[in-house]
Amino acid sequence: MQEAVDLSAIVVWGGFALALVFGAIANRSNFCTMGAVSDVVNMGHWGRMRMWLLAIAVAVAGASALHLAGLVDLRQSIYQRPSLNWLSLLLGGAVFGVGMSLAGGCANKNLVRVGGGSLRALVVLTFLAISSYMTLKGLFGQWRASWLDPVMFDLSALGLKDQSLASLVGRITGLEPAKALGGTAAVMVLGLLAFVFKDARFRANGAQVLGGVVIGALVVGGWYLTGHLGHGENPETMEIVYFATNTRTLESMSFVAPLAYTLELLMLWTDASLHVSYGIATACGVVLGSAAYALATGKFRWEGFASLHDLRDQLAGAVLMGFGGVTAAGCTVGQGLTGMSTLAIGSFIALTGIVGGSAATLKYIIWRESRDD
C-alpha cells in the first residue's frame, strides 16, 4: 500500500512542479493558441504560431524518443486507441475553436490569466468546468455518447493496432514499427523546425524560442512522469497500473477534463474515493506558476468583465469549450501538443477542427464589429 501511495504522490507532485514551470513560461512568453491564430488571421503575424509549432516539434521528438527507448508506451494512451471517432474529434474540435475565440483564450490561457489576477478568467473556467463535467457524465455526455461517438472508423480493419500516423506509414511502406516511428517523427520534426526557424525575426525572439522549447519539453516530461515513474505494480491487486491519472493510463498536459475533475473533487470533497490526480495537480500548478511570475515581475492586475456584451461572449465561449474539449478528447494543449506528440491521426483531425473553428469565429467577430461601427 505504501508503494502505491508513494507512486501516486510522485505523479501528483511531479505534475504540479511541471505545471508551475508551464504557467510561468506561458505567462512570460504570452503562449496562447487562440492568440496565435488571431495574429495570423488579423495581422498576418506568425510569431506566436511559430512558437506553438516549435513546442509541437519538441514534444513529438521527445515523446517519440521515449517510446523508442522503451521508457513509455504511447500506444496505451487515450490518443492511440484504434477506434477513430472522427466526427467527435472534428466537431468537438471546431466547437472548442469557436468557444476559445469567443472567450478570448483557451483553457490554458484562462488558467494563466487567473494567475495574473483575472476574475473574468476565473468565471470562464468555472463555467468551462461545469460544461466539461456535463459532457463527461451529464446531459451533454448523453448527446455525445448517443450521437457523435458511435460515428467512428475501426482502424483495426486496416490491420492497425493503434492510430499512430507512424503505424499507418509502416503499414503502407512495410517498414518495421521502430523505423516507421523514427522516420515519421523525423520528417515531421525537421519540417516544423525548418518552417519555424526560417523567419529571422522569430530566431531573434529569445522569449518565444525559449517558450516553445520549454513547453514542448514539459509535455515530454509529463509522459515520462506518468508513463514511466508512475507505472508500476499495485500492491493491493498485483496488477501493473498507471498511478494517479484520471484515464488510468499515461497522460501529459491537458486542461479541459482535469477542470471537470477539479470541480468534482471540490464539490464531493468528503467522498473517500476521490483523490487529487495528475490532471488536477497540473491545472492548479499552471495558475500558481503564472501567479508567481506575475507577482515577481509586478504584472499582477485584478481584471473583470468589460461589459455585459463581453460577459455574454465569455460565458458562451466557456460552455462551448467545455463541451468541445471533452468531445474532442483534448484542447489546444491536450490535443494540439500532447495528442500531436503521439502522432495520433485523431489529434490531426481535432487540431484541424480547433484551428478552423477559431479562424472562422475570429473572422465573424471582425465582421460583426465592422457592422456595429
pLDDT tens, residue by residue, 30-44: 999 999 999 999 999
What cell was used for 82? 484504434
Residue range 340-355: mean pLDDT, rounded: 98
User: Tell me, what's the pLDDT at 2?
Assistant: 56
User: Tell me, what's the pLDDT at 234?
Assistant: 86
pLDDT above 70 (res 78): yes
**pLDDT-derived band at 179, boundaries 50, 70, 90:** very high
Strand partners, 233: 240
CA–CA dist 299, 97 (Å, integer): 28
Write out the H or E segment, with its range, that includes residue 319.
Answer: helix 308-327
Residue range 178-186: mean pLDDT, rounded: 98
User: Tell me, what's the pLDDT at 136?
Assistant: 98
pLDDT above 70 (res 334): yes
pLDDT above 90 (res 64): yes
pLDDT above 70 (res 5): no
Give the closest residue to 335 by CA, choosing from 80, 139, 127: 80
Residue range 232-238: mean pLDDT, rounded: 85
Q: Give the rounded percent of residues in the chain with a pLDDT score beyond 90.
A: 94
Distance of CA 365 to the CA centre of its chain: 25
Distance of CA 150 to the CA centre of its chain: 23
pLDDT above 90 (res 4): no
**pLDDT-derived band at 52, boundaries 50, 70, 90:** very high
CA–CA dist 328, 372 (Å, integer): 34
What are the Cα distances from residue 81, in Å, to 76, 249, 281, 284, 285? 8, 12, 25, 28, 29
pLDDT above 90 (res 1): no
What is 191-234 written as a DSSP string? Answer: HHHHHHHT-HHHHT-HHHHHHHHHHHHHHHHHHHIIIIITEEE-
CA–CA dist 94, 358 (Å, integer): 7
The string of pLDDT tens digits covering residues 238-270 is 899 999 999 999 999 999 999 999 999 999 999
Q: What angle do CA 210, 214, 217 make, to 5 degrees?
A: 145
Residue range 8-21: mean pLDDT, rounded: 98
The one-letter amino acid at 312: R
Mean pLDDT computed over every residue of the chain: 96
User: Tell me, what's the pLDDT at 3?
Assistant: 58
pLDDT above 90 (res 237): no
Residue range 277-294: mean pLDDT, rounded: 98
Residue range 91-96: mean pLDDT, rounded: 98
User: Tell me, what's the pLDDT at 7?
Assistant: 94
pTM value is: 0.96
User: Tell me, what's the pLDDT at 370?
Assistant: 84
Which residues 6+ apart lie within 8 Å of 342 measured at CB?
63, 74, 77, 79, 80, 164
**pLDDT-derived band at 371, boundaries 50, 70, 90:** confident
User: Tell me, what's the pLDDT at 372?
Assistant: 73
pLDDT above 90 (res 112): yes
Residue range 291-319: mean pLDDT, rounded: 95
pLDDT above 80 (res 351): yes
CA–CA dist 162, 138 (Å, integer): 29
